[in-house]
Every structure is written in structure tokens, then in C-alpha cells.
């Protein structure tokens, strides 16, 4: 079983020229990066999978900024405490700054130097409360009258669900059971879940499925919450 503190970054509505300003820094930090041109597609990801740092270009073309922030900060969102940065042009900074304290943490001007952009991301990373956790997961997916057993590797983990790397394609809504061990725990975490999403080939770094937890056995939720607090420091 392997645990890594590799951090995950979601980049939305950021063009190639701007992304190139921070790409060398991100590569050095070994971020796991998911990029989306539009926010609605990204919301599907952050609704089920925790991400360490969120970076959005402002304004968004397909959803109001406050609606986006409210959905990310909702009580059942795995990204409700993830630091969020808005990138805005200089003439829109005043407008974008209104969202600080209303879901956004930092606003940075698009025209700023690469060093300033990198520093802003570094500060957010310093307070990010989630880690990208990789561990082996045993899943049994119920399909029709049968079941498929698979050993897979998680790419991320929260108290509400996880992203599991797999080349198999399972229908959305498929029910499954799972178990995995945390650290040196002798007893596994066991529970029931459902397939909430499939990752998009060519657009996301990890190919697999997002699993939404339906229930965890016995004290599984308390143990998982304690573990996540410990690893996020």
C-alpha cells in the first residue's frame, strides 16, 4: 500500500498562454492536474472528488460565479474547504474581489508575472487541507445478475467518496461494495457505494471511476475522518 502527498490542482477556463505561465512551476511540484474549458463539466468532478487547489478564470462563460462557489462550498461537497483562486484581468479585479470571503480565497491579475502567480498558488497549497492518497482498494461491482471483483488503486479520497483508477467501464449508478486499509490499521474500512462518474479520456490525468459512498460499516466514517485529519496535518 502506497501513500503519497502529491497534490491535485483543478484548472478551469484558463487559456493556453496563461497556463504556460505557471506550467513549469506546476511540473516541478509534481501536481496532478485536471483541466476543463468550462465550469459545469468541472463541477461534476468536484462534486465527487476532493481537489487540493482550485483555479478558475474569471468570469466564467457557463455559470454565475456565486452559484459556482456556493456549489463548491456546500456542506456535502468534498471540496468545500479546498483553497480557490480566481484569475481576472486587471479591469475586472475589483469585481472579482467581491467574491473573496464568499467562496473565493484569492484573486490574482492575469497580467501579473509568472512568479506572482506561482507564489499565490504556493500560498494556497500551504493551507490546502487535503492530500492525494493512493492505496489499494478491493471493489465488487454488482452488474445485473452477476458481480465483478477488482483490485484497484485510489487516486484521491475524502469522507464522501474516492476516485479509483481502473480501465474498466461501469454504468453510472452501479452499486458496489469496497474495502481498503488506512495506514497501519489492522481492520479495513468497508462500505457500500455507487459509480457516480467516469473520468474523461484525454482530459483527466487519472482514468477511472468516481465512487460516492452510500454507507460505511460500524465506525468506518469516524476512522476515515480521523485519518484524513492526520494526513492533512
Q: Is 3 within the bounds of a domain?
A: no
pTM: 0.57
Tell me the residue range of the domain where 173 lies: 136-232
184 within domain boundaries: yes
Is residue 1 situated within a structural domain?
Answer: no
Domain boundary among 95, 127, 159: 127
pLDDT, tens only, 133-165: 567 777 887 765 556 667 777 777 888 888 888
State whether residue 19 is helix, strand or coil.
helix
pLDDT at position 196: 86
Residue 83 belongs to a domain? yes
Claim to verify: residue 119 and residue 215 sit in the same structural domain:
no
Question: Are 92 and 182 in a shared domain?
Answer: no
Number of domains in the chain: 2
22 with 118, same domain?
A: yes
CATH number assigned to the domain comprising residue 39: 3.40.50.2300
What is the tens place of the pLDDT at every residue in 46-90? 888 888 889 999 999 999 999 999 999 988 888 888 889 999 999
User: What's 154's domain CATH number?
Assistant: 2.40.10.220
The verdict on 209 and 189 lying in the same domain is: yes
- Check whether residue 16 and residue 117 sit in a common domain: yes
Domain boundary among 82, 110, 127: 127
Residue 25 forms part of a structural domain: yes
In a domain, residue 2? The reply is: no
- Own/partner contacts of 169-173, CB < 8 Å, gap of 24 or more, are 169/198, 170/141, 170/143, 170/195, 170/198, 170/209, 171/143, 171/195, 172/196, 172/197, 172/198
Q: pLDDT digit string (tens) for 22-57? A: 777 776 666 778 889 999 989 988 888 888 889 999
Amino acid at each position: 500500500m502506497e501513500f503519497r502527498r502529491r497534490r491535485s490542482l483543478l484548472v478551469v477556463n484558463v487559456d493556453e498562454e496563461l497556463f504556460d505561465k505557471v506550467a513549469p512551476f506546476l511540473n516541478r511540484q509534481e501536481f496532478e492536474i485536471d483541466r476543463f474549458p468550462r465550469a459545469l463539466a468541472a463541477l461534476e468532478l468536484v462534486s465527487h472528488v476532493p481537489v487540493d487547489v482550485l483555479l478558475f478564470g474569471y468570469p466564467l462563460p457557463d455559470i454565475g460565479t456565486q452559484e459556482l462557489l456556493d456549489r463548491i462550498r456546500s456542506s456535502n461537497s468534498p471540496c468545500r474547504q479546498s483553497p480557490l483562486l480566481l484569475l481576472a484581468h486587471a479591469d475586472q479585479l475589483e469585481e472579482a474581489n467581491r467574491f473573496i470571503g464568499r467562496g473565493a480565497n484569492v484573486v490574482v491579475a492575469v497580467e501579473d508575472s509568472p512568479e506572482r502567480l506561482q507564489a499565490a498558488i504556493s500560498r494556497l497549497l500551504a493551507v490546502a487541507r487535503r492530500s492525494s492518497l493512493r492505496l489499494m482498494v478491493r471493489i465488487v461491482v454488482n452488474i445485473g445478475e452477476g458481480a465483478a471483483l477488482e483490485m484497484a488503486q485510489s487516486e484521491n479520497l475524502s469522507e464522501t467518496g474516492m476516485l479509483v483508477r481502473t480501465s474498466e467501464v461501469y454504468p453510472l449508478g452501479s452499486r458496489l461494495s469496497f474495502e481498503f486499509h488506512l495506514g497501519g490499521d489492522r481492520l479495513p474500512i468497508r462500505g457500500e457505494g455507487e459509480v457516480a462518474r467516469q473520468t474523461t479520456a484525454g482530459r483527466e490525468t487519472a482514468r477511472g471511476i468516481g465512487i460516492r459512498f452510500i454507507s460505511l460499516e460500524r465506525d468506518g466514517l469516524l476512522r476515515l475522518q480521523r485519518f484524513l485529519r492526520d494526513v492533512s496535518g
